Amino acid sequence: MQSRRIQKVGVSTLAVSLPKEWVRSVGLKKGDIIFLEQDRDGSLKIMTIKQIKEKSSGTILINADICKDHKMLMRVLKGIYSLGHDRILITSSERLRKEQMDSVRSVTRELVGPGILEETPSQVTVQCSIDITKFDLETVLRRLYLIASTMHRDLIDAISEFNVKIAEESINRSVEAETIYWLASRLLNSCQKDSVLARKMKIENPMQILWWRFTAHYLRLIADCAKKMAQKIVALSKNFDRIGELLKSDMIKINEASYAVCHKAINSFFSNNAELANEAIEDYLKVQKTEEKIQERICTHAYLHSKSFSVSKYFKGKKPIEPCMIAQISFIVWAARRIAELGSEIAETAIHKTLCKYTNLCKPILEEK
């Protein structure tokens, strides 16, 4: 680290000389313009025009020949999008395959902002026109939670009413959840690179970006878990008439409890309420025990039902219960627990986010000299 003494130039201007080695390395000369950017801690960052252009990111090249699996191409495209790049060029030494082109078009439809700008048989240019400064990070994350929680609420109604259409609507919402998740990822990566943008997004401490990223990831997993649960409900539909009232009641109750855990957890995250977060974690432990009991009951009732061919409160009818039906019900119950577990992870993250600021809960001791 080098030191420089501040000098006064003119009446009120303060000046400082630049390190000779640095000036040479970046190719500065008399008359060139440099840019100053204030960082979070109050320090100044000096950048040249060339560095500014590189920071704004030029065109990112993707070698489609390496992405032989079209799904890999989709994942790479989404990853580059989330890193905040605006222009992506996909090239191939030969003609791009139909599966690859379909993947590119699919990604541009799923994400906010990107579209195909130019296209030839061997290359495609994707341009993202989104202005991330127009978005509010908290609003985006709340939107992601709203989608995930609505999907879960729909599933509770689908079980309660034995309604397949409601479950199918929940599956359709999963696409929007993915869209918002990738938008949130792009915002967070941009905040990590740009301290000015981070302050605009109300992120004062760089550590907070980590907690926001974790929460976005957990919400995405909740939506994905809800989608898989909905698929099991659709598959189970032909056996709805075999489900007894007690089993249906238990399935609804555990999902209601799971929904409540997530609701409490996300509120604790946005309000920086460690006590509420702790309650959500404790509530998850109750859901965990409930899930274990229900799983045991399912297996026990199914076994006794197949032996006695009698009507029970868990299963109706005299025919033996199909193993596939047991597996579908078991997954739905497990998924409710998993969603609650992800809610508890959000609550853990909320506690860590709260501790980034000194409060009555946690603050340094001022030692007397």
How far lies 275's CA from each of 250, 263, 268, 287, 348, in Å? 28, 14, 8, 19, 11
Q: What is the DSSP string of 168-215?
A: HHHHHHHHHHHHHHHHHHHHHHHHHH-HHHHHHTT--SHHHHHHHHHH
pLDDT at 301: 82
Q: pLDDT tens-digit profile of 243-267?
A: 999 999 999 999 999 999 999 999 9
pLDDT at 79: 94
pLDDT at 344: 98
Q: Which residue has the tokens 């409710």?
A: 336
Q: pLDDT tens-digit profile of 99-115?
A: 999 999 999 999 999 99
Which pLDDT band holds residue 117 (cuts at 50, 70, 90)?
very high
Q: pLDDT tens-digit profile of 27-79?
A: 888 777 777 777 656 677 777 766 665 555 578 999 999 998 999 999 999 99
Give the Cα separation of 182 and 188 in Å (integer). Answer: 10
pTM: 0.82
Give the Cα separation of 265 and 270 in Å (integer). Answer: 9
Mean pLDDT lowest among 158-162, 193-197, 278-282, 324-328 = 193-197
Is 16 exposed, middle or buried (CB count within 10 Å of its CB: 0-12, 13-18, 19+)?
exposed
Domains present along the chain, CATH in parentheses? 7-55 (2.10.260), 59-132 (3.30.110), 135-354 (1.20.58.220)
Those residues whose C-beta lies under 8 Å from the C-beta of residue 356, and which sit 6 or more positions away, are 205, 207, 208, 211
Q: Which residue has the tokens 């609550």?
A: 347
The pair of structure tokens assigned to 258 is 């799971």
The total of other beta-carbon atoms located within 10 Å of residue 205's CB is 13
pLDDT at 275: 95
Which pLDDT band holds residue 165 (cuts at 50, 70, 90)?
very high
Burial 306-315 (b: 16+ CB within 10 A, else e): eeeeeebebb
CB 161 within 8 A of CB 174: no
The pair of structure tokens assigned to 327 is 């597996």
Res. 283: pLDDT tops 90: yes
